[in-house]
A = this chain, B = another copy of it.
Amino acid sequence: MDIPTFQDVLAAHDRIAPYIHRTPVLTSSCLNDLTGAELFFKCENFQKAGAFKARGASNAVFGLSDDQAAKGVATHSSGNHGLSLSYAAGRRGIPCTVVMPRTAPQAKKDAVKGYGGRIVECEPSTSSREAVFAGVLAETGAEFVHPYNDPRVIAGQATCSRELNGQVEGLDAVIAPIGGGGMISGTCLTLATVAPRVKIYAAEPKQADDAARSFRAGHIIADDAPETVADGLKVPLKELTWHFVKNHVTDILTAGEDEIVAAMKLTWTRMKIVMEPSSAVPLATILRNPDTFRGKRVGVIITGGNVDLDKLPWMKG
């Protein structure tokens, strides 16, 4: 297992700085009053391609040798990682192939194409995806960039909490959503070196609580096709991200679907920012666990803002 180091984070930050935003940190006196904590929202919804994933994808793309880069990159995420890899490849001017189920929403396909990515469709099953993806790699010789179980990606995501720690003094805790664990792993990687006393919390939908159950069991447990409004958080931990979760995370907190939607709407209403359901899970868990955070200075990572404005979760039908 190739575990990234803090040196890799520093190298990543230098490498990707021209291609990413140093996103702002916002505060809300209303949400501070509601929670009794001091919350500092790191707004990766304002990141390039609309999510923190642009960091890891850019680090992977711009770390390739010219020979490898010429063959391009490939992945099979239909979410923010597919978008971000297309964005980063576009900035470097190299090919990017994204394998997506033919049933994926047209808006997601359009977004990948908008950044210059090429889509190869598969059937909506794991076996089809794996077969089609293997074909793409064989045909193109492209470099596979996994959405999270990749040391280059984790080192890239780790630049987010490095910025946050420089933007806010005296943090007591940082909380981020957990799906595959890329953002949480990057957060652990950075803070273990630059601010080891800061507690790290992961936030997960109760209906997709495989990471929380893994954390309690001491080994990876994968859910079978979980359903949650926080659609970025359905994927399971893998070896690399489990390494960081197991060794550095203080606790994994969960919230119900209604709580997630309420926290999302509260943030839109009060902070006037557009963010994904996944990004609302940390606030939902803070509201559920006030004693854990009261009086603390808490960094809250808003992971992304790519949401379908025609299908907001509080809309009827």
Which A residues form the contact surface with B (CB < 8 A)?
24, 26, 43, 45-46, 50, 265, 268-269, 271-275, 305, 309-310, 312, 314-315
Contacts and interface: CB of A to CB of B under 8 A. Distances in A.
Closest 6 CB pairs of A and B: A272-B305, A272-B274, A45-B272, A268-B274, A46-B272, A268-B309
10 contacts: A24-B24, A46-B271, A46-B272, A265-B309, A268-B274, A268-B309, A272-B274, A272-B275, A273-B273, A309-B314
A188 B312 CA distance: 39
Nearest to A315: B315
A295 to B, nearest CB: 24
A272, A309, A312, A314: most-surrounded residue (chain B CB, <10 A): A272
Contact of A269 (B24, B309, B315): B309
A222 B274 CA distance: 36
Contacts of A275: 272
Contacts of A46: 26, 271-272
B309 A312 contact: yes
A275 B46 CA distance: 15
